[in-house]
Amino acid sequence: MIIILSDLHFSDSTTADNISSYAWPILASQISSSIEKNSVKELRIVLLGDTIDFLRADYWFTNFLDALKGYLPWEGNLDNEFSMNGGKDQNERYYTDVLNRIIACEGGIKTFVRCMNELARKNNSNGLYTKLTYIIGNHDRAVRIYSSLQDKIKSLFQDFKEIEIIDNLKDENYSLLARHGHEWDDLNNGWEIYNYVNGNNPPIGELDTRSLNVQTFGEVSTIELMSGIVYYIKSELISKNILNENQDFLQSIKAISNIRPMMNVFKWLAWLSLNQDDTKKEIITNSLKKAMDSFVNSALIQRWIEVKTRSAFLRTLVNGVYDAIRDVSYDTIESFIDTLNDILSIFESNDDIYLKKAENEFQTEEFKDFQYIVYGHTHFSRNDVFKANANGKINMYINTGTFLPAILQARNAADFYALKHITFGLFYRTDESGSSFPSMDLWNGLRNEVK
């Protein structure tokens, strides 16, 4: 049996909250129940990308103040291989520091690791082969680059008989292909940047390891915008000596990384500010501008703008437009955010690229006879069948969503609400389920609650 979990985003909890530790005993109980009900021959846990989140951390601000900012991985002199400041070697200790903080965080990854190891020990003693597969996503891109990080992650899951860290899983016995899914996201895949700066002809594609090694737009936006807004708001609250009485306000801001789609972040900030006093509205506006400045002016985003515009002149024009918008005096935070949303609308798409890519993969010679293609990345659980035959065999795309909450815009296009998720897939070989073909269970739980 294979259990697939995606997008757990374990962090050090400084700019984003971790998944409730209550989720892991529930998951372990469900896995044990499935083992008892089926003739399971092996227990394989697959972590489908973004399991460890190196980006949601104030480390990137508190340790790189003022003159040290030039040492950030997305600033300074970006190399051509990784689009990282000074190349990969200069940055290894930074990512190691963040990983150590994540591992040490109470209420974060510790409970999950303990539950998984207990599950492994129990089933080792019952004669099952236990294996953990860690698939690399975009928030944990550093794991692909640094073997020292891989060693640390492997040491956490010490009770599994086998641990592997890979980019994707292909298993004919389960009729299954699983990858994180960011490979198809232009904002989180570096193939365009790599081809541009290296003058590749013919160009490399999205699945090329060299593409997946490149630092991306998505990484910098998560740190400088999502984590940055939280950091700057907290800093302003401290500077005004009003942090203690505004802990609930700060806690609500930390939910910013759970906005879906992420392009709704600015709309959500405007909505959140409606019920705030003038002081907090000013803090939100000032923090947003600081975060936007750091993001837009970073070396990586300037490189990305150059790649997209393919012209130094257009790059200068884009920056000039941003500076003009940035310096306009706005009466309200809503008017400033409305302007930002107008600009960001150029990135929005109604096309479900992941659905299309899964369909394309099913049409290849390698995967045409597979039953299941599984992605994560989007934080939205779904399942779609492209094809089925009379004997019950199917081609199904599955997205295993996340265990994190999602903050979504209501149908009235004015309000936002939160839903908690527990989503995972269980996949069985034919000799485990008694089915004519490999089979699966997809569990998708939702909860809405206000405490």
Residue 205: count of CB within 10 angstroms of its CB: 12
Residue positions counted in the chain: 451
Is the pLDDT score of 181 beyond 70? Answer: yes
Give the pLDDT confidence score for residue 365 in this predicted structure. Answer: 97
Regarding whether 153 and 6 lie in a shared domain, the answer is yes
The SS3 of residue 266 is: helix
At 400, is the secondary structure helix, strand, or coil? Answer: strand
Mean pLDDT of 258-275: 89
Residues 205 and 235 placed together within one structural domain of the fold: no
| Coil/strand/helix, residue 129 | strand
Whether residue 309 sits in one domain with residue 227:
yes
Q: Which residue has the higher pLDDT, 346 or 45?
A: 45
Q: Is residue 352 over pLDDT 80?
A: yes
Same domain, 333 and 357: no
Residue-wise pLDDT for 279-312, tens only, equals 999 999 899 989 989 998 999 999 998 898 876 6
Could you tell me if 266 and 331 lie in one domain? yes
Q: Which residue has the higher pLDDT, 320 or 260?
A: 260
Structural domain ending residue among the three candidates 309, 327, 346: 346
pLDDT bracket for residue 338 (50, 70, 90) = low
Please say whether the dihedral angle defined by the alpha carbons of residues 143, 144, 146 and 152, taken in this order, is positive or negative.
Answer: positive
Instruction: Please indicate, yes or no, whether the overall pTM of this predicted structure exceeds 0.85.
Output: yes
Residues 386 and 286 in one domain: no
Instruction: Count the Cβ atoms, other than its own, within 10 Å of residue 271.
Output: 17
The Cα–Cα gap between 363 and 381 comes to 22
Q: Are residues 268 and 382 in the same domain?
A: no
Are 184 and 61 members of one domain? yes
**What pLDDT was estimated at residue 176?**
98
Pair (129, 273) in one structural domain: no
Q: How confident is the model at residue 88 (pLDDT cuts 50, 70, 90)?
A: confident
In the sheet with 394-400, reading across from the earlier edge strand, the strands are 168-171, 176-179, 372-375, 394-400, 381-388
Decide if pLDDT at 5 tops 70: yes
Give the per-residue pLDDT at 451: 64
Are residue 20 and residue 161 in the same domain, yes or no?
A: yes
Whether residue 349 is predicted with pLDDT greater than 60 in this model: the reply is no
Q: Computed from CA positions of residues 5, 377, 293, 312, in that sequence, does the dihedral angle turn out positive or negative?
A: positive
pLDDT surpassing 70 at residue 251: yes
Q: Smallest Cα–Cα separation from 269: which of 286, 284, 248, 250?
A: 284
- Which residue, 319, 346, 373, sits at the end of a domain? 346
b/e sequence 28-37, b meaning 16+ C-beta within 10 Å: bebbeebbee
Tell me what pLDDT residue 322 has.
65
Instruction: Look at residue 343 in the predicted model and tell me its pLDDT.
Output: 55
Q: Residue 321 belongs to what domain range?
A: 219-259+262-346
For the ranges 36-40, 262-266, 426-430, the lowest mean pLDDT is seen at: 262-266
Among 324, 346, 368, give the residue marking a domain's end: 346
Counted domains in the chain = 2
Task: Classify residue 87 as left (phi > 0), alpha (psi -120 to 50) or beta.
Answer: left
* Separation of alpha carbons 224 and 242, rounded Å: 24
Pairing of strands 372-375, 176-179: parallel
Higher pLDDT, 451 or 149: 149
Both tokens of 152, joined, read 């640390």
pLDDT of residue 351 exceeding 70, the answer is no
The pLDDT score that the predictor gives to residue 261 is 87
Q: 36 and 71, same structural domain? A: yes
> What is the mean predicted confidence (pLDDT) over 151-175?
98
Which segment of 66-70, 79-83, 131-135, 251-255 scores lowest on mean pLDDT?
66-70
Looking at the fold, whether 342 and 401 belong to one and the same domain comes out as no
**Which pLDDT tens digit goes with each residue over 110-134?**
999 999 999 999 999 999 999 999 9
Q: What is residue 263's predicted lDDT score, i.e. its pLDDT?
A: 82
pLDDT for 15 beyond 70 = yes
